[in-house]
Structure 1
């Protein structure tokens, strides 16, 4: 059973879409399909079944998925320890939305590297907090910053700031919050369809949108709303500059003080270097 086949299987299960899984893995779609076929041949049982025209894991698939996650996590930990034993530079990988990386990671990385010259830091930008959480859970990143997501028990976190979840528009499209219903009837609303937290907060307010367009990128939502006749749902941290310069209008606030969290796998914080970085970013927030 090849590691790359297990990696492909894990990503396909999480993305629930072959095309998105192929993009994330940087494989062609036929290669992804072939990896899954090889796994099924080795296991001797189907890993997926069709239910209501959707692919779902079989019982065998569920068992393999749980074990594949553990195997891949242990493999990463082993590779990291071997590198440390060789005296190679330790790598810390961090990820988050562009704005979160700029606000919380980059200012502290400068201070951290001055004291830890044998540590390399890699910063990755992602499209959503859900992508960040996935990367940390699956050891594709050591630290992440997310907003408003429930966390599994094996994740440690520290609240480093707070955001509001809002419906917004450019001033050119909408400049009077009292006319919100009129704007909703006239313009499509962009929202991240992969973020259960956003759906929950919007539904809790009883909001309904005649024309909703699902988008899986906060940056895409922001850019479209600023440049086209759209409304959008976003965390205020993504549009702080625009709010300050009054180039956007906040039409409604769905949730206030949404926590922004620094996250890491709890087991990784047993590494003193990781613990130092976690403490530095946590303390710098003043939370």
Structure 2
């Protein structure tokens, strides 16, 4: 049984005439007759009564007609759906985004992508960059928008932007007027960091270790807004990308000396077959200029 046999059978049944059906389908009448005969042999019963001037359905043929119509409708729907996926008018993919990037990099990128591909969807999983890398490697998500680690094996990546890390402290803090700050100046300050699994946390702790300083971690969280609010309340200082702190009441940002930077980008597994929607997103990100699209 194939699609053509079903199509021939349905057309003959509806038109009740082999000749008219052949003209409608632009095939020869013998071809239609042979095709329906093969279908009847395969099913084991007669579908059409050919003894009258009009071709009429047998009882079994009437039952099979409804089934054949349903099969053809499903096939057409499947073909249309796949065409939509191919033309990028439908599709979805999974992306891991850390809260930090989700707060100020992802919204801009997402809005620009949706403007170009309004019918494509993405399922967003929020977690730290280290966890996001693992999710991509385990193929639990298709791509990750992450703070890029110094070394990245088994994954392809694309750098989106490089951001300077600044010290965030209360406006009334004694160090708030300094042109820059060193880790030596900050050694006695309580700090607020992201939880384990966040690349930014690891980078900051590694910098403290380089200076032989044991940090005083006052609190850890995975919430970007919580960090800013706690800094504003004077609970401690923190370290965040410069552009993530636009205008925040009672928070001052000061550069580090020497300067410290974060590379942010997209990662994906090169040997994995990705959804077309995800490939479109990767291609879009490769052309995306955050400076050009920023307000």
Q: 1:236 to 1:169 in 2, by over 3 A?
A: same
Answer yes or no: is 1:111 the counterpart of 2:112.
no
Partner of 1:266: helix, strand, or coil?
coil
Structure 1 residue 286, shift from structure 2 partner: 6.5
The answer for the alignment partner of 2:252 in structure 1 is: 248
1:253–1:283: structure 2 CA closer, same or farther, 3 Å change rule? farther
8 Å CA contact 2:147–2:262 kept in 1: the answer is yes
The answer to whether the aligner puts 1:233 opposite 2:239 as a matched pair is: yes
Asked if 1:154 is matched to 2:154, the reply is yes
Contact 1:167/1:252, CA 8 A, preserved across alignment: yes
Asked if structure 2 preserves the Cα contact closer than 8 Å seen for 1:161 and 1:260, the reply is yes
Change (3 A) 1:188 1:247: closer
Cα RMSD (Å): 3.5
Q: Which structure 2 residue ranges, 5 or more long, are not aligned?
A: 1-77
Alignment of 1:40-119 (within 5 A): 87=82, 90-96=91-97, 97=99, 98=102, 99-113=104-118, 117=119, 119=120
Is residue 281 from structure 1 mapped to residue 281 from structure 2 by the alignment?
A: no
Q: How does 1:13-24 map to 2 (within 5 A)?
A: none
Of 171, 190, 193, the residue aligned with 1:191 is 193
Greater Rg over alpha carbons, structure? 2
Structure 1 Cα separation of the partners of residues 264 and 285 of structure 2: 12
* Secondary structure of the corresponding residue to residue 256 of structure 2: strand
Can you list the C-alpha shifts for 1:173-209, whole angstroms capped at 9, x where unaligned? 3422278767653x411223634333223433x1625
Conserved in 1, the CA contact under 8 Å of 2:162 and 2:261? yes
Residues 202 and 254 of structure 1 are in contact (CA less than 8 Å); yes or no, is this contact kept in structure 2? no
Q: Name the count of aligned residue pairs.
A: 196
How high is the TM-score relative to the length of structure 1? Answer: 0.55
1:165 is aligned to 2:153: no
| 2:156–2:269 CA contact under 8 A, matched in 1 | yes
Query: 1: distance between equivalents of 2:195 and 2:123?
Result: 28
**Closer/same/farther in 2, CA of residues 156 and 229 from structure 1, 3 Å limit:** same
Residue 84 of structure 1 deviates from its aligned partner by 11
Deviation at 1:283, TM superposition (A): 0.6
Once the two structures are TM-superposed, the CA of residue 111 in structure 1 deviates from its matched residue by 1.4
2:265 matches 1:264: no
Q: Tell me the CA shift for residue 276 of structure 1.
A: 1.9
